Structure 1
């Protein structure tokens, strides 16, 4: 497996050619080498792409390899939504057939037949469903708001799971958003929406693209920095 040395950090990566992508993306996951995906390139160019994002990769590896503070979610644990973490209450309800999760505006409430705690593996699909439902309700409304505000028009918007990115604007100008965008602060959610709307006009990250983003959202750099620090994939 190829590797490069970045300071005291050794970065191993594997490459997955994907002709459907126009750019290259890196993904950092616990216990796995860095995944580089995108159009087919040779080893030398792969190394250049990984080196370009080496600092970002090192920071994300340090983050994801940290020991999990909690293997179990219990009352008093905190879950993330819209840039904040909220108190979580876990209720034991033996008569339930399966666990449920709801949000009461100030806290998460989990009801489970398994006891007074729930494992991260069991929680993951509940939280993913919550983010997906909220994205349909709130994020798509922000797309319509920014279309009116900016004059930019998408041919549609939908929620979709990606392996290594927050959002996309496809060749038909349909916007697609990962449900986990709902973890981010509202201002950063808006930046993701504006970013993808600008791709309906400029497909690449050219100077003209960033100038268009700046016209719609003058403080975009601040939101972009928050997005850069969030733990999902990143483009190179």
Structure 2
């Protein structure tokens, strides 16, 4: 496929013969090469037609390739551990699923969709990333708070709830939505203590909240943060 370099913009283009047209037309569409259509002419004339419209083509490419509302691109931000972090989206069309990694201060997202990633594809990759990070960030805190409070759970697992962040089952297995990894460490600690308290008090009554306050005095501030995000625990 021919490429015309206009300043820093590489214009990929292709020719489609259209004998019925009296003059050549140029079409610019999102995610496609620039299309030159018209009567058959020598290659140097085709190149000249692209060169003549190059400034207009560059402007149109910038317009049509603006990220859509449901897309992430480099410069977008993701919430993790209570902060939003800069994202770098890297094309990885050889992958069947997106991959996410985090390096100190930014996310690196390998996208099979190219230089952007749709929110639906990102959602799956983000959940996988959170599940993996929970092994290092969540499980040690559960163990810590079991030692601190003397409250014992029978197990722990990740579970994708529809309308809550976490739960304690009847047999005292703690369940956490993968997105709990979005919480700041202090808020995540509160969620853990909250669920551990349910191993003793199953209902949100006075006895339950007294137990929470005993083990986590800062619970009200953290609970307000959880409510602000819109899902109950």
Q: Give 1:109's aligned residue.
A: 108
1:219 aligns with 2:218: yes
Q: Give 1:93's aligned residue.
A: 92
SS in 2 for 1:191: helix
- Structure 2: gaps (5+ residues): 1-67
Q: Deviations over 1:135-167 (max 9, x none)?
A: 232112111000001111111111111111111
- Measured in 2, the distance between the counterparts of 1:95 and 1:123 equals 16
- Measured in 1, the distance between the counterparts of 2:212 and 2:97 equals 45
CA contact (8 A) 2:97 2:125 kept: no
Q: CA deviation at 1:114?
A: 2.5
1:113 to 1:160, Cα distance in 2 relative to 1, 3 A = closer
CA contact (8 A) 1:159 1:179 kept: yes
Q: RCO (CA 8 Å, sep 6+): is it higher in 1 or 2?
A: 1
- Measured in 1, the distance between the counterparts of 2:217 and 2:95 equals 50
Q: Deviations over 1:72-110 (max 9, x none)?
A: 111100011011100000112344454321111211101
Q: How much is the aligned-residue C-alpha RMSD, in angstroms?
A: 1.8
1:117 to 1:217, Cα distance in 2 relative to 1, 3 A = same
Q: Give 2:150's aligned residue.
A: 151
| Matching of residues 52-71 of structure 1 within 5 Å | 70-71=69-70
- Measured in 2, the distance between the counterparts of 1:149 and 1:220 equals 15
TM-score w.r.t. the length of structure 1 is: 0.67
1:211 to 1:85, Cα distance in 2 relative to 1, 3 A = same
- Measured in 1, the distance between the counterparts of 2:71 and 2:96 equals 20
CA contact (8 A) 1:71 1:119 kept: yes
| Matching of residues 82-231 of structure 1 within 5 Å | 82-231=81-230
SS in 1 for 2:108: strand
Q: Give 2:50's aligned residue.
A: none
- Measured in 1, the distance between the counterparts of 2:93 and 2:174 equals 42
CA contact (8 A) 2:166 2:175 kept: yes
CA contact (8 A) 1:140 1:158 kept: no
1:210 to 1:113, Cα distance in 2 relative to 1, 3 A = closer
- Measured in 1, the distance between the counterparts of 2:112 and 2:101 equals 15
